[in-house]
Amino acid sequence: MPLTESVARPATTPAIERIGWAMSGLAIELPSWGFVNTGTRFGVFPQPGVPRTAFEKVDDAATVNRYTGITGSVALHIPWDRVDDWPAFAAYAAERGLRIGGINSNTFQDQDYKLGSLCHPSAAVRAKAVRAIIECCEIAAATGSKVVKVWLGDGTNYPGQDDMRWRRHRLVENLREIYPHLPADVRMFLEYKLYEPALYSTDVQDWGQAFSVCRAVGEQATVCVDTGHHAMGVNIEQIVAILLAEGRLGGFDLNDKKYGDDDLMVGSIDPYQLFRIAHELVNAMRDDSDPVAQRCASEVVYMLDQCHNIEPKIPALIRSVMNLQEAMAKALLVDRAALLAAQATGDVLEANRLLADAFATDVRPLLAELRTARGLPADPYRAYLDSGEAEARAAARAGGTAAGWG
């Protein structure tokens, strides 16, 4: 069944059928770096059983997929996940039921990048960063990945440190140089973040900058919305709506935040915000009168971008998958026909009630039923905890050096 049909069921259809897409259409991508030891600048608390190699990160992603059934791709971070033989690595993942997802470039850790990468004042450093991202395009070609994701740590720490206008010119010019190296079926995602590591100005600081740069670079360049990369109180769902209207929403780096770029589990702090974002996506998928947004919404990549500093990593990712599924299922329950009618007649309270009621619906029993019908555990989180796999993995991975951000 085409995606648009499967999300466009009328409100009279049984709820279990209306939310079916959250189980059979939704695909969530796992981050290889979500399985490794991370921390804050104040310290790292290593955990037992953490992967030591890129292959073991794939093993862990495959484990999450066995329990959830909807996480069939794993995103890589280069150079953290660099291996010698990319086709063999992709084959290793495929044997475990996984595709290689987005190839995330990393031009923020080398000493050379202290003053930036694509926006650096030195042409030599900019050229090095361009080469690093072109390598990601090559890795995408070699692994069958469909996305090269660019997030830059570029920016300045003090007023006057560099010329902000020229930094923007350098950014556009260098991305244009990289762009022709994208394979024909691979998209470039440009991810923004308001601050950090730069503390005064950030070169790709918000969706407007990312969007206008993408337009200057080419059709295959789209914006990545990391839900943790906004100032307090920003209306993220409206950003999503605008990018959908323009056909330039590439994907998400999903996580939740209370204060900064906290990288907490999806929906763990503000599940209503997650629902409101889900509503914009489902609403666009259902909107036959806006083909640009409809197509864009159907191609969105839902990646998790989390760090698990104190909590066990595999169950945390499973919880995020379940939280996103619940938000999507609730969005699928919104009675769109009634909502359009309320909006058209200016019935403010009824329009809001329709959303609020969908959000208040407990979809967990329905999702459990759908999972069982697909031969998956009704509660993947509990099933994983009860499986004994975590203990077995910790015993099997004793020794060696656990992976981190390096």
| Interacting residue ranges for ligand PSV, rule: CB under 6 A | 33, 104, 151, 191, 193, 226, 253, 261, 305
What is the spatial distance between Cα 219 and Cα 247, in angstroms, rounded to a whole number? 10
What is the spatial distance between Cα 138 and Cα 141, in angstroms, rounded to a whole number? 5
211 binds, among Mn ion, ligand PSV, none (CB under 5 to 8 A by kind): none
Instruction: Read off the tokens for 285.
Output: 């998928």
In this chain, which residue has its C-beta nearest to ligand PSV?
A: 151
156 binds, among Mn ion, ligand PSV, none (CB under 5 to 8 A by kind): none
> Smaller CB distance to Mn ion: residue 94 or 194?
194
261 binds, among Mn ion, ligand PSV, none (CB under 5 to 8 A by kind): ligand PSV
What is the spatial distance between Cα 103 and Cα 98, in angstroms, rounded to a whole number? 14
> Smaller CB distance to ligand PSV: residue 280 or 305?
305
Nearest distance from residue 263's CB to Mn ion, in Å? 8
What is the spatial distance between Cα 294 and Cα 2, in angstroms, rounded to a whole number? 12
Instruction: Read off the tokens for 43.
Output: 């310290």
> Is residue 236 a contact partner of residue 203, using CB atoms and an 8 Å limit?
no
> Smaller CB distance to Mn ion: residue 92 or 405?
405
256 binds, among Mn ion, ligand PSV, none (CB under 5 to 8 A by kind): none
Nearest distance from residue 376's CB to Mn ion, in Å? 28
Q: Is 158 helix (H, G, I), strand (E, B) or coil?
A: coil
> Is residue 298 a contact partner of residue 250, using CB atoms and an 8 Å limit?
no
> Smaller CB distance to ligand PSV: residue 81 or 287?
81
> Smaller CB distance to ligand PSV: residue 203 or 305?
305
Of 115, 302, 171, 109, the closest CA to residue 224 belongs to 302
Nearest distance from residue 348's CB to ligand PSV, in Å? 36
33 binds, among Mn ion, ligand PSV, none (CB under 5 to 8 A by kind): ligand PSV
Instruction: Read off the tokens for 365.
Output: 């029993």
> Smaller CB distance to ligand PSV: residue 152 or 370?
152
In this chain, which residue has its C-beta nearest to Mn ion?
A: 253
- Tell how many helices (H) and how many strands (E) occur in the chain: 17, 12
> Smaller CB distance to Mn ion: residue 73 or 294?
73
> Smaller CB distance to ligand PSV: residue 152 or 333?
152
384 binds, among Mn ion, ligand PSV, none (CB under 5 to 8 A by kind): none
Instruction: Read off the tokens for 129.
Output: 């960063």
Nearest distance from residue 191's CB to Mn ion, in Å? 6
326 binds, among ligand PSV, Mn ion, none (CB under 5 to 8 A by kind): none
List 191's β-bridge partners, or say none.
Answer: 151, 224
What is the spatial distance between Cα 29 and Cα 32, in angstroms, rounded to a whole number? 10
CB atoms within 10 A of CB 91: 11
- Which residues bind to Mn ion, rule: CB under 5 A? 226, 253, 305
CB atoms within 10 A of CB 101: 30
104 binds, among Mn ion, ligand PSV, none (CB under 5 to 8 A by kind): ligand PSV
Nearest distance from residue 302's CB to Mn ion, in Å? 13
Count CA atoms closer than 13 A to 212's CA, side-chain side.
9
What distance separates the 2 farthest-apart alpha carbons in the chain? 66
DSSP string across 378-396? SSHHHHHHHH-HHHHHHHH
> Smaller CB distance to Mn ion: residue 179 or 192?
192
What is the spatial distance between Cα 329 and Cα 327, in angstroms, rounded to a whole number? 5
